[in-house]
Structure 1
Amino acid sequence: MPKYRRYNWPHLLSEFEKSELTQVEFCKQHNVNPKYFSVKLSERKKAQAKQAFATVVVQPNRESTQPQPLEKLIIEIGQCKIHCPAAMSIPNLVALVKSLI
């Protein structure tokens, strides 16, 4: 019966990403089952993708009772501000946000 091993998966996966080895080569060097390694790597990528999204809350302008046309869109992340035209298409806005992640 094969011996059960415990791995420090976050460390092991980080080491793999730093290396220029294929999954199979890396698994051979570290004596890890390639199929199980692939499962753990997929789980990590899915978890990272979920963390990449941020909640956006739009606060209405309380000074004006009449809706005003949007002149520009400002995306703020920390001290960084990106000014976008109001006419920017949704696909372009999505591409911009994805490139910032």
Structure 2
Amino acid sequence: MPKYRRYNWPHLLSEFEKSELTQVEFCKQHNVNPKYFSIKLSERKKAQAKQAFATVVVQPHKEPTQPQPLDKLTIEIGQCKIHCPAAMSIPNLVALVKSLT
């Protein structure tokens, strides 16, 4: 019965990737079963592919369906802030802005 061998698979697979040998040639030189080597190499590539991508769930930005009514209006000029009711008439608002400038 053949002896069971333990291999340092990460090291062995990285050595294979550095070499320019085919899988069969590499396995012959290192006394490794080519079929088992191929399985281990496939597992490593799948694991690397999983680490390369991440699943991201994107939530669409929801705009409000109806604009919210304004209850007040704030006018800022320099360090001065004036809070006015939203129901203020346009002529009064224009007069206020003109008086501030």
Q: What TM-score results when the alignment is normalised by the length of structure 1?
A: 0.56
Deviations 1:56-97 (A, max 9, x none): 354777998889999999999999999999999999999999
Deviations 1:14-60 (A, max 9, x none): 00000000000000000000010000001111111111112435477
Instruction: Measure the CA separation in 1 of the matches of 2:10 and 2:21.
Output: 17
RMSD of aligned residue pairs (Cα, Å): 20.5
Instruction: Measure the CA separation in 2 of the matches of 1:97 and 1:33.
Output: 87
**Higher mean displacement: 48-57 or 64-73:** 64-73
Structure 1 stretches of 4+ moved >6 Å: 59-101
**Higher mean displacement: 81-90 or 36-45:** 81-90
Percentage identity across paired residues of the two chains: 93
1:44 partner SS: helix
Instruction: Measure the CA separation in 1 of the matches of 2:99 and 2:28.
Output: 35
Tell me which structure has the larger Cα radius of gyration: 2
**Higher mean displacement: 76-85 or 21-30:** 76-85
CA change 1:16–1:47 in 2 (3 A) is: same
Q: How many residues align?
A: 101
Q: Where do 5+ consecutive residues of structure 1 fail to align?
A: none
Q: Where do 5+ consecutive residues of structure 2 fail to align?
A: none
Instruction: Measure the CA separation in 2 of the matches of 1:34 and 1:94.
Output: 86
Instruction: Measure the CA separation in 1 of the matches of 2:20 and 2:28.
Output: 14
